[in-house]
Structure 1
Amino acid sequence: MKIVLAYSGGLDTSVALHWLKERYNAEVVAFCADIGQIESLETVRERAVRTGASEVFVEPLTDRYLNDFALPALRSHARYENKYLVAAPLSRPLIAQRMVEIAHEVGADAVAHGATGKGNDQVRFFTSVTALDPGLKVLAPVIDWELRTREEELDYARKHGIQVSVGKENPYSIDTNIWGTSIECGELDDITLAPPARAWQLTNSPQQAPDQPRQVTIGFESGHPVTLDGEKLGLTELVTRLNAVAAQHGVGRVDIVESRIVGFKTRGIYEAPAATLLMAAHEELEAIVLDRETLHHKQGMAARYAELVYYGYWFSDLRRAMDAFTDSLQGPVTGEVTLELYKGSFAIAGRRSPFSRYSGALATYEAGDTFNHQAGAGFAYVWSLPLTRPAAGGQV
């Protein structure tokens, strides 16, 4: 039997690699997607080899991740429960997609992941793989094995000489990529306490952020971020640079008690410095270039889009249809937005677009006002008619 394992080098997948070999007498191919995580991927490769992988794929997929997954989510303003920018959920369909491709290339019978039974990822991986190749078996060793606690996993790792970086001094479950970082477990399970300073991985605290504000200007062409402070950049370089600036100023932190797919609440903290600013800027441009009805309809779709991503329904017809609608609106989403960053927060400091629908002459209350106020009075009369109640005798 040959199995392709989504391998991160962390506790769960390192133990899973060894356990799969033992349980199924299998050849295990480890696959790690390089999507801009902060861990050393050379270390991940070496750990996979030492743990017994027959072959290791560590592939640079950051461009594919940003362009094919993060960018559509940005344009759709995907925030799960109005807070979480779904960095990890966006990576799962890409990882699943590449796992299926590798399984076909190497002739594997199954794919496997390191998600737990009560986690979101076991649903996302199963759903994505099933959508792409329902004939592939999806194995979930962390669900199937006899190890019931993280301490038992650590004992298993020590017994079999598996090197891991999790222990009492590092109790967190951390998932990182270029779009954002997820941190769970440890002291974070106590929702009555603020996150410890050591839990944050990327961003300065507001207290440690620079004392002087910093302005950044993001330019878009047809909804695609293309410039930072006037310099034309590829998407990966733009996000990388913006991450550094925003993180320095403490921007992009989220602390949320969220509703998991499997039904209960969990607490996570997230860092998405660049994504936070890009989404705010994109929203600001849409606000000035889209007409009211289109804008409001698209705003209403955002929460549903985020749910589809979070629930693992990336490869659904509905998500594709929503992307087609959003893509059709992106032509005029062209221009620049300036944001001012200061100690963990930011504000819009300016916006401009050649397709702006804003008219100063209509909006002003000063000299030069071109609005027909008499027409406004008639409009108010007509607008109120649906709310008019019949008078006694049935006459309006």
Structure 2
Amino acid sequence: MNKIYKKNTIVLAYSGGLDTSAIIPWLQETYNFNIVAFVADIGQSRKDLYDIEKKAINSGAYACHIEDLRNTFVENFVFPMLSIGAMYEGKYLLGTAISRPLIAQAQIQFAKKIHSIGVCHGATGKGNDQVRFEMAYATLAPDLKILAPWREWKFRSREDLLNYLKEKKIFTTVNSKKIYSKDENVFHISTEGGVLENTWNSSNKHCWSWTQSPQKAPDVPERIVLHLYKGRVVKINDETFSPYKCLKKLNKIGAKHAVGRIDIVENRLIGLKSRGCYETPGGTIIFYALRALEELILDHDSYTWKHIVALKMSTVIYNGQWFTPLRDALQNSSKVFSDLITGKVLIELYKGTINVLKKQSPNTLYISEYSTFGKDSVYNQKDAHGFIQLFSLSSRLRALSHNFKK
């Protein structure tokens, strides 16, 4: 972009949605700042990006900058997270959370490039994203001003924002009947609000955007073979893909078979609970494939420790602590194990289910000659006696001590 940027410029993380569309005119009339809309392309719908620059300018932005981060997002954020095995509260693959550090990092880099005085986000004062964005801002650019309109303005609901945009004659695709909050990238799409705010309401067709319902999914299962190298999928059915194209391909396959849907009530960082319908079809398939190979390759202590690291990493990512020494330490610790995860997995997809049918690895610790229930010549069962004697020694001594005290 060849624009000459004015003084008192604020860079807004802009999606073109309801909140950020309202933020542009509000910032101008409240602070008289020049607003530059920063759009991170992380694989969201092309429909959302269509005419987004025109939309930002019509909302009052001085300029709009779009940055293609799709490959970086998958290669440096999504795939490393999947190889670690991070999953928040046993269900959520962190599709929104993992995107925030990259968006904030790119936003900060652009803000510094144009000598902006500050940055702004559209996260509400009730959610996690305000923490995630501002943790990154504080780490990467502690000198920049941070603006969070949801914590300042008089508006209290999305309905208020709709009325405000109507007054300003600014177009939005959101309406009062379908007032869901959606967040989308190439890894996942989330839907919150609307009927989901009552936990006794079932989700409806408006709560699901990518995936077929299990009832409408094909009646014939589909089988695919995933080839993995050092914790990353490199081939699907013998065809090589880049990380981004691999995820896109698996999204399409998984969505057709209703794979990767969850309806979850989660614990937000600030203490509130929230409900959302999340769809992560390709990521869920990869998650299953990785865990299948881990069963073959990792010994008990390694397997246990890797899952401890994964559990901690899930909260680190969820809480927006990506740019911290703790995240570096956890990721480096897990990489020792991830580098062993090489092999191939045959997976069957059917009406929302994923079944691992076959798996093999050059690094496997499963050796049939040792594990067989039949006759073998490599394992002496008498050796188990000495092992059990030593393994149970402390229990035996405790029992003896108890008897002595009597």
The one-letter amino acid of 1:25's match is N
The one-letter amino acid of 1:361's match is E
The one-letter amino acid of 2:162's match is L
Residues 198-213 of structure 1 mapped to structure 2, 5 A cutoff: 198-213=206-221
8 Å CA contact retained: 2:16, 2:48: no
Task: Work out the CA distance in 2 between the residues paired with 1:369 and 1:176.
Answer: 56
1:393 offset after TM fit, Å?
Answer: 5.6
1:302 offset after TM fit, Å?
Answer: 1.1
RMSD: 1.3
The one-letter amino acid of 1:207's match is Q
1:189 offset after TM fit, Å?
Answer: 0.7
Number of residue-to-residue matches in the alignment: 395
Aligned match of 2:128: 120
Partner of 1:87, secondary structure, is: coil
Aligned match of 1:232: 240
Aligned match of 2:192: 184
Instruction: Pick one of 10, 13, 22 that aligns with 2:17.
Output: 10
8 Å CA contact retained: 2:105, 2:140: yes
Distance 1:173 1:390, change over 3 A: same
1:23-67 alpha-carbon deviations (Å, 9 max, x no partner) = 111110101111111243023222111111111111111111111
Instruction: Pick one of 92, 96, 108 that aligns with 1:88.
Output: 96
Task: Work out the CA distance in 2 between the residues paired with 1:369 and 1:182.
Answer: 55
1:369 offset after TM fit, Å?
Answer: 6.4
Partner of 1:40, secondary structure, is: helix
Aligned match of 2:110: 102
Task: Work out the CA distance in 2 between the residues paired with 1:393 and 1:284.
Answer: 46
Corresponding position: 1:390 with 2:394: no
Distance 1:156 1:295, change over 3 A: same
Under a length normalisation based on structure 1, what TM-score does the superposition of the two structures give?
A: 0.97
The one-letter amino acid of 1:19's match is W
1:95-120 alpha-carbon deviations (Å, 9 max, x no partner) = 11011101111111010000110111
The one-letter amino acid of 1:37's match is Q
8 Å CA contact retained: 1:363, 1:369: no
Aligned match of 1:363: 371
Corresponding position: 1:28 with 2:38: no
8 Å CA contact retained: 1:41, 1:58: no
1:198 offset after TM fit, Å?
Answer: 2.1
List runs of 5+ in structure 2 lacking aligned partners: 1-7
Task: Work out the CA distance in 2 between the residues paired with 1:349 and 1:313.
Answer: 37
1:169 offset after TM fit, Å?
Answer: 3.0
Partner of 2:50, secondary structure, is: helix
List runs of 5+ in structure 1 lacking aligned partners: none
Task: Work out the CA distance in 2 between the residues paired with 1:301 and 1:393.
Answer: 41
Instruction: Pick one of 53, 56, 68 that aligns with 1:45.
Output: 53
Aligned match of 1:304: 312
Partner of 1:102, secondary structure, is: helix
Judge which range, 287-296 or 130-139, deviates more.
Answer: 287-296
Judge which range, 4-13 or 380-389, deviates more.
Answer: 380-389
Instruction: Pick one of 240, 254, 257 that aligns with 1:249.
Output: 257
Instruction: Pick one of 153, 166, 186 that aligns with 2:161.
Output: 153
Instruction: Pick one of 71, 75, 91 that aligns with 1:67.
Output: 75
Aligned match of 2:227: 219
Partner of 2:382, secondary structure, is: helix
Task: Work out the CA distance in 1 between the residues paired with 2:109 and 2:377.
Answer: 61
Under a length normalisation based on structure 2, what TM-score does the superposition of the two structures give?
A: 0.95
Task: Work out the CA distance in 2 between the residues paired with 1:387 and 1:21.
Answer: 72
The one-letter amino acid of 1:148's match is R
Task: Work out the CA distance in 2 between the residues paired with 1:182 and 1:292.
Answer: 35
1:219-272 alpha-carbon deviations (Å, 9 max, x no partner) = 111112100111111111110010000000000001111000100111111000
Task: Work out the CA distance in 1 between the residues paired with 2:343 and 2:399.
Answer: 49
Partner of 1:254, secondary structure, is: strand
Judge which range, 310-319 or 323-332, deviates more.
Answer: 323-332
Distance 1:21 1:390, change over 3 A: same
Distance 1:393 1:82, change over 3 A: closer
Partner of 1:305, secondary structure, is: helix
Task: Work out the CA distance in 2 between the residues paired with 1:120 and 1:113.
Answer: 12
Judge which range, 242-251 or 281-290, deviates more.
Answer: 281-290
Task: Work out the CA distance in 2 between the residues paired with 1:349 and 1:57.
Answer: 46
The one-letter amino acid of 2:284's match is T
8 Å CA contact retained: 2:14, 2:39: yes
Aligned match of 2:3: none
Percent identity between the two aligned chains: 38
Judge which range, 162-171 or 220-229, deviates more.
Answer: 162-171
